[in-house]
Amino acid sequence: MDKHIIFEDEQIRAIFLKGSSDELVFSFGDLITRAKGLAINAEKSLAKFEFNVIGIMPKEKSWFPAESMHNLLKAIEDVIAPFQKRIGYGGSMGGYAAIKYSKLLGLSRVVSLVPQFSIDPEVVEDSRYNMFYHAELNANMQVQTQDIAADCEYIVVYDPYCAEDRAHFVELEQVIPDIKVLNLPFTGHDAIAVLASSELLKDFLTREFDGVYFYQKIRQVKKGSKFYYRKVIETLLPHHRRSLGKILRNNDMQLDSQFFDAKLKQSIIRQLLSNRQVSEQDLLKLGIQVNLPQESNSQLLDSFGHGLVFNVITQKIESYAQNAINLNHKFLIPIFAKGTGLVQISLNDERYVIAMNDRHVMKLFKEQDELSAGMHPLVLKKYSDYYLLSYKQFNLSSDEYGGNDFIEDTPETAKFMTQPEESEDVEQA
């Protein structure tokens, strides 16, 4: 497979994947699937159909700053020149970029899943992403009329019942005159995961837009998606309790124990026990081990109120708003604290120690496993009203954008507090 980096700066990395298609696809990464080696967003599906692809992967949570994108274009002009048909694809942060830079890149079609219009809190209030706004990088970064190409087809997929995503869509409608919309109710911001299908992606990128056809394909894909059923369960639970039992009995799902967040898992268990409508097998389908007691922990928060997590994709300790953690709980694993000791996380019902070397490379080690050479476990130190996370003589310090670094001092940004986690105990009906 011919794949290599064609541009890189502090903010983005662009990888060219050579295929045999007439089209060139610009595939933008999102907040979670950031630059890692030569990986490209949706690579497996795109490679299956031998698309020529330029994967533009963010290295930071910075929403593809304009300066980086203009420098990218200068560097790849010769690479993209032979391709008359160029298509943009991405979700969330990547969906924003596909729209924002559609005219710059000469795109003829954009497929954007649950995109943002802006992360500037003065433009759109969205607690999931406002924390990542940086005036030096993102000033005037909202999608504007001059970003939109008159001869480009814009397809946006989103859940109209998700208030946060709808706020962005309403703004996008004002600047994209002929926007084409595919509604995906009861999926929230999980549309990207729900629609993870090679065949559907190929249709999105190359087939002439036909709303009836696309909705038929979407229904086929989402009915086989566990992410879709999670959102359906979350939506129906308050008002249609017995629908949960029907969903479980009629679908063969095998979810892991971290698939539902604590609050939703508690609600599900209450309803299941109250209505006596499912068997133990149904509980196992949901990844709920009711025979095992849950630990009562406290989540660590940085000085800006963001939750401290271990990102299993980037293999780094980072800080995120609680909404973002809930949204991506399979990848952003909260760090809890009880007292002084090693920094640990719970992943797939196993305990892992977080260790690091002098090059600040972090790795997870099971409690019982040996550390590799040069790796040292991070230490959590409990004081009267705060915690420190330390590596040798250095302490972890967070900034307001969720970044973390080890420093020798102990400013307020290096002091972490705790917040009680919601209990997952089952209440009696």
Band (4; pLDDT cuts 50, 70, 90) = very high
Band (251; pLDDT cuts 50, 70, 90) = low
Please report the pLDDT score of residue 274 as a whole number. 58
pLDDT of 209 strictly over 90: yes
pLDDT digits (tens, 9 = 90+) for 321-357: 988 888 888 889 999 988 899 999 998 888 999 999 9
Whether the Cβ atoms of residue 342 and residue 367 lie closer than 8 Å to each other: no
Q: What values do phi and psi take at 152, rounded to 5?
A: -105, 140
Please report the pLDDT score of residue 289 as a whole number. 61
Whole-model pTM: value is 0.70
| Domains of the chain, first to last | 3-224 (3.40.50.1820), 237-285 (no CATH), 298-420 (2.80.10.50)
Q: What share of the chain has pLDDT > 70, as a percent?
A: 81
Mean residue pLDDT of the chain comes to 87
pLDDT digits (tens, 9 = 90+) for 292-324: 333 445 889 999 999 999 999 889 999 999 888
Please report the pLDDT score of residue 424 as a whole number. 39
